[in-house]
Structure 1
Amino acid sequence: MSVETQNTPAVSPEDIETAEKFKSEANESFKSLLYVRKKIKKICIQKQLKKNPNVAIYYANRSFAYLKTECFGYALTDASKSVELDKTYVKGYYRRAAAHMSLGKFKEALKDYEYVTKVRPNDKDAKLKYSECNKVVKKIAFEKAISVDFNKKNIADSINLDAMTIENEYTGPRLEDGKVTLNFMKELMELYKKQGKLHRKYAYKQPSLIEVPISDDEKFTVCGDIHGQFYDLMNIFELNGLPAETNPYLFNGDFVDRGSFSVECIFTLFGFKLLYPSHFFMSRGNHESATMNQMYGFDGEVKSKYTAQMADLFTEVYNWLPLAHCLNKKVLVSRFINSTV
C-alpha cells in the first residue's frame, strides 16, 4: 500500500474496498495482452483512482497499461505520480524508467533503473534493463564527444544512383522512364508476397515525398498502424481496392517495427505515394524515428536486408513526412494526438 501525502483527499472504507475490487477486475482483464483488454484495464484503473486516488500501485498499473498502448507521455505522468505517493514503491520507478526509455530520455531512465537494481539486486530483468540503458547512454556520450562534422551532408546527397548497376539476374519490377507505374506496383507486391527483394537502386529512389492537400469530394480511406504486417496490408487492398485517383488513402503512421516485413510495407506505401502523389497520403507516426526503430526492430531489419546507410536514410526521410492531415477542413488525423478513455 502507498504512503499518503498531506494533501491527499480523505477516502472512506467503502471506497477503498470498491477500488480494490476494481483492481482485481483489472488484473483479470489484463491476463491477455489483447488491445481491447488493455483498454478495459485502463477503464478499471480509472474507476479505482476515482474511488481512491491515494494508492501508488493504481497509478503504476495504469502506467503499465499506457506503456502497452504506447501512450508514453501518460505512462510517464502516472509512474511519476506513483513514485510521488510512495517513494519506496519499486514498480513505480520501474514503470517510469520504461516510459523514459520509450521517450528517448535515457539518462533519466538510467537513474530509475539504478534505483531498482539497488533495491532488488537479484532482479535479473532489472539488471538487464539497466545494462542496456547504460550502454545507450555511454554510446550517445561517446558519439557526442567524437562528433566534429557540423556540416554533414544528407544521406540522399551522398548516393550516386547513376553509378548503381542492375544485375542481369534481377527479376523484380523495373521503373519505366524513371517513373513508378501501376504495373510496377503490382509486380512489386507480387515480389514481396514471394518474399523477394526490391533492387537497392529502386529502393534508394523511393523517398521523394511531397505533402499535398486531401480532396473533399470523394470516398477517403484512413488506415491505422501497419507495423510491418505486409500480408495485412495486402488484405486491406484486397477488401478495399488498390489505391487509385478514384480510391484515395491516408496511412496514418506506424508503418514499421514489430512485424517482420516492415521494409516491404514502407516501400509499397512509398511506391503508391510516388504513383498517386495527390491521392495517397502518409503521416509520420511515433515509430517513424531512429530511437523507436532501434528498440522495436526496423533498424535491424533494414541493415539485414540492405545496408546501415539505408537505415540512416530512412531516418532522414522521416523528416519529410507531415505530422497531420486535415480532411475536408473538419477532421484532424494525426498519430500525435493521445486520448484517454
Structure 2
Amino acid sequence: MEAKNENSDVSRAEEMKNQANEAFKGHKFSQAIDLYTQAIELNGNNAVYWANRAFAHTKLEEYGSAIQDASKAIDIDPKYSKGYYRRGAAYLAMGKFKDALKDFQQVKRISPNDPDATRKLRECEKAVKKLKFEEAISVPVSEKISVAESIDFHTIEVEPQYSGARIEGEEVTLDFVKQMLEDFKNQKTLHKRYAYQIVLQTRKILQALPSLVDISVPNGKHFTVCGDVHGQFYDLLNIFELNGLPSEENPYLFNGDFVDRGSFSVEIILTLFAFKSMCPSSIYLARGNHESKSMNKIYGFEGEVRSKLSEKFVELFAEVFCYLPLAHVINEKIFVVHGGLFSVDGVKLSDIRAIDRFCEPPEEGLMCELLWSDPQPLPGRGPSKRGVGLSFGGDVTKRFLEDNNLDLVVRSHEVKDEGYEVDHDGKLITVFSAPNYCDQMGNKGAFIRFEAPDMKPNIVTFTAVPHPDVKPMAYASNFMRMFN
C-alpha cells in the first residue's frame, strides 16, 4: 500500500511538472512556480523540479530564490549539469561573475561536448577578466574627478547637416522638448551638444536636492506617480498621451528604473531629464536599483549609451544617477520609494534625509533597502527573493507609517499583471508602468493620480503600444542576451 501511494505521488508530481512547463511556455511564470512547488511537495527528491523552478524564479528576477532552488537541485544530484547552469545564470544576473564562473566550469566538466556550455563559459571568463582589469585600474573614490566638471557643451560644434531638435541658448523650452520627442519617435538621435546640456543642467538641479524630497500638492490640484518604465520609450509617450505632458499644472514623479532592459533607455532618460531641466517642479525623479553602474553594465543601458552617444556619456550618467533622490513624501502623507522598507524598526524620515546618497548603492543598509526591498504577504521580515534587500510584511509597513505619521507607501520595482497591486490592508501600493515588460510578460502598465486635498489613489491602467523592431536587451552584455 505504501509503495502504491508513493507511486501515485510520483506520477501526480510529474503531471504537475508538465502543467508547470506549459504555464512557463505561456510566460505565466508565477503560475509555473506554484505548480513546480506542488510537484516538489509531492516528490522533493527530483532535481529537475528544483532546477525548473529556479528558471521560473530567474524570469521574475527573483535571483536569490533561483540560487536556493538550483543549489537544492545540485544537492540532490551533484552530476545534474542543469542545476549548475541555472545557478550560474542567476549569479550572472546579479553581477556575481566569479561565482557564475565556478558553476559554468562545473557544467563544462559534466558536459565537455556541450557547445552552449562552452560558449557561456567563454563569455563568463571574459567578464571576470574584464572585472579584474577594471578593479586593477580603478581610482579610489576620494581621488575621483567629476566627469561633469570636465565638459563644456558650449564648445561642441553642431554640424550644418544636423537636422534634429536644437536648444537655442541656455534654456530648454517646451518647443525643443516636443521636437526632440518627435525625433526620438522616428528613431533620430539628439546631437551630443544638446544631450550634454540636458544632462549637465539636470545634474545641477539634482545635486541641490535632499535625499528625501517633500512635495506639496495644493488643494484642487493633482499629482501623478509612475513606476518603472525600463527603456520602453513608446509606452512612456503613451502615458503622456493618456495623462498629458509634464508641466507645473500636471506634475509627475517617476519612481526609478528609467533605464535597462528596454532598448530605448537613452530616449527615456533624455526625455525625463529634459523636462526636469525645463521646469524642475513639473517632474520629480527617484533613484531605482537600475540607476547604478553594476546593473547598467549587465542590462543594456551602458551598451546603448556607448552606441547612441559615447563612452564619456557612460561615465556622466553613472555620476548623475548618484545625485538622484532616494524617496519622496507627498503632502506629508504618502511615502514614495522605488523598493521598500527596512530590516530594522524605528526608521524615521529624518534618517532617510540624512543618507549620504552620492555613491553607488551599497549592498546593505538603508539606501540598499530603499532601492531593493519587496513586500511579502506574511507578517515580519524574511530574506529577499532577489538576494539583495529583504521582504517585509504588513506589520512592518503599518509601524513605519505610524512612526512617521504617514498614510500610505507607494513603491514600484516589481512587475504586476494589472500594472499595480494593493497590499498590506491597503497601506501599500505597487505601481509598475512598463506594460508587456520585456515584450513577453503580457502585463498591463499603470500610474496613480492623486487629487488634493483628499489624496485618494486613482489608478489608471493601460496596455502596451507597438514599438520599432528593436528587441529588449538589444544592447545588453553578451552573456545576458544568451539567457534571454
Give the TM-score, by structure 2 length: 0.61
- The structural deviation recorded for 1:13 is 5.6
Structure 1's 16 and 116: CA in aligned 2 closer, same or farther, altered over 3 A?
A: same
Of residues 61, 72, 75 in structure 1, which corresponds to 2:66? 75
Please state if 1:24 is matched with 2:14: no
Q: Is the 8 A contact 2:255 2:336 kept in 1?
A: no
* Richer in helix (by share): 1
Whole-angstrom CA distance in 2 between matches of 1:92 and 1:215: 51
- Give the drift of 1:269: 1.2
User: Could you tell me the percent identity over the aligned residues?
Assistant: 50
Identify the residue that residue 57 of structure 1 maps to in structure 2. 48
| Equivalent residues of 2:108, 2:114 under 8 A apart | yes
Show structure 1 runs of 4+ deviating over 6 A: none
- CA shift for structure 1 position 264: 1.1
Instruction: Please name the residue that 1:282 is paired with.
Output: 285
Aligned equivalent of 1:152: 144
Contact persistence 1:63–1:95 (CA under 8 A): yes
- Look up the equivalent residue of 1:173 and give its one-letter code: A
**Which deviates further from its counterpart, 229-238 or 15-24?**
15-24
Task: State the number of aligned residues.
Answer: 328
Aligned equivalents of 2:226, 2:149: Cα separation in 1: 32
Cα deviation for residue 176 of structure 1 reads 5.2
> Which letter does structure 2 place at the counterpart of 1:338?
D
Deviation string 1:174-208 (CA, Å, 9 cap, x unpaired) is: 33552222222112111212322222122112232
Secondary structure of the corresponding residue to residue 215 of structure 2? coil
Contact 2:306–2:313 (8 Å) recurs in 1: yes
- Give the letter aligned to residue 24 of structure 2: F
Coordinate RMSD, CA, aligned: 2.7
Match of 2:83 in 1: 92
Paired residues of 1:185 and 1:271 also in contact (CA < 8 A): yes
Q: CA distance change for structure 1 residues 32 and 219 in 2, over 3 Å: closer, same or farther?
A: same
Kept in 2, the 8 Å contact 1:257–1:297? The answer is yes
Unaligned residue ranges in structure 1 (runs of 5+): 1-10
Contact persistence 1:253–1:288 (CA under 8 A): yes
Mapped contact 2:232–2:263 kept (Cα < 8 A): yes
Q: How far does residue 326 in structure 1 lie from its aligned partner after superposition?
A: 4.7
Higher relative contact order (CA 8 A, sep 6+): 2
Partner SS for 1:42: helix
Alpha-carbon distance in 1 for matches of 2:36, 2:329? 33
Please list, as runs of the form range in 1=range in 2, the aligned pairs for 1:162-241 lying within 5 A after superposition: 162-175=154-167, 177-207=169-199, 208=203, 209-210=205-206, 211=209, 212-215=213-216, 218-241=221-244
**Does 1:123 find its partner at 2:114?**
yes
How many Å apart are 1:39 and its aligned residue? 2.2
Aligned to 1:39: 30
Kept in 2: contact 1:71–1:338 (CA 8 A): no
Aligned to 1:7: none
Say whether the 8 Å CA contact 1:213–1:278 is kept in structure 2: no
Q: Corresponding residue for 2:98? A: 107
Distance of aligned partners of 1:247 and 1:109 in 2 relative to their CA distance in 1, 3 Å threshold: same
After alignment, is 152-161 or 318-327 more displaced?
A: 318-327
Question: Which of 334, 337, 340 is 2:373 aligned to?
Answer: 337
Q: Show the counterpart of 1:3.
A: none
What per-residue deviation string (whole Å, max 9, x for no partner) do you get for residues 92-132 of structure 1?
21111111111111111100000001101121111111111
Q: From the two aligned structures, give the one with the greater strand fraction.
A: 2
Post-superposition shift, 1:86?
Answer: 3.3
Of 105-114 and 120-129, more deviation after overlay is shown by 120-129
Distance 1:324 1:265 in 2: 20
Q: Is the 8 A contact 2:275 2:282 kept in 1?
A: no
Displacement of 1:331 in angstroms is 4.7
**Residues 235-268 of structure 1: CA distance to partner in whole angstroms, max 9, x if unpaired?**
1111121112232222233323343322111100
Unaligned runs of at least 5 residues, structure 2: 340-371, 378-484
Which residue type is aligned with residue 21 of structure 1?
E
Greater Cα shift, 143-152 or 80-89: 143-152
Question: Does the aligned pair in 2 maintain the 1:325–1:334 contact within 8 Å?
Answer: no
Q: Per-residue CA shift, 1:191-227, capped at 9, x if unaligned?
A: 2123222221221122325253234565333333333
Residues 40-61 of structure 1: CA deviation (Å, up to 9, x unaligned): 2123223334445454333322
SS of 1:206 mapped into structure 2: helix
For 1:28 and 1:113, the matched residues in 2 are separated by 27
